[in-house]
Structure formats: structure tokens, C-alpha cells
Amino acid sequence: MSIDELIDNFSFLDSWEDRYKYLIELGSQLPHISDELKTEEWKVPGCQSQVWIIPHYEKAHIYFEGDSDAIIVRGIIAVVLEIFKDKPAQEILDIDVEEIFDKMGLREHITPNRRSGMLSMVDKIKYYSAKSLGK
């Protein structure tokens, strides 16, 4: 799914309740990571729930998998991972995630703690991307 499709899907939904249901649906489709990988190394600091983001480096691209112990947060992870899916590291660093979140209405409708956690996930992904470029 492209970023534009993701934005369209959120804008198509009339109520925030429907958007929450969509987030939960996206989270339910996210594969769980194994318990062995749920370590401090992959844990995202700054999240109220437990969140893990794991990078996988392949040539010029970085692929991520993520998981959480909270249903809505799993949906947020699914959105964040979809935004960065199939992108080279430099493009990941250049993406204005705040603008995308605004277009989806996520900034104004999720709690401040979840928003902070969402930005922590983005920071972690951008950290791994910068690291892969030697920055």
C-alpha cells in the first residue's frame, strides 16, 4: 500500500471510531515477532506500551518489522512501517512523517502518549537508516 493509499483510506472513514477500528485491523495483520527478539536492543524508548522495531539491511534498502503488546499501538506500528516500506535509507531520512500523520488525522486524534510513542518509533527507524549510511 502506498502512502497516498494509506492517507486515502483514513480520509475515507467518517468518524474517529472507524479510524480506530481501521488501526486495529491494520495491527491485527502485522506479523508478531518472536519473543526471543523482544529484547532491550530492539525496544523503542519513549513508548508507554512495549514496542520493538527490528531493522533488516538488504543492499540499499532497510526493512523493518515491529510489534507491541497493545492493540492500537500495533496499528500505529503498521502505519509507520507502511510509510517506510521499500524505501532506501536516504529516502527514509527525507520523509516528512508529521505531514503524513496530519493528512491521516492521526496527530489530532490519538492521545499525546501514543503520539509521543509514534514519534519515538519514527526516530528509531530514522536512527537505523542514518546508521546504515554511516551518519
Enumerate the active-site residues. 47
Least Cα distance to 124 among 35, 70, 64, 37 occurs for: 64
C-alpha span between 86 and 68 (Å, rounded): 22
CB distance 42 to 54 below 8 Å = yes
CB distance 79 to 87 below 8 Å = no
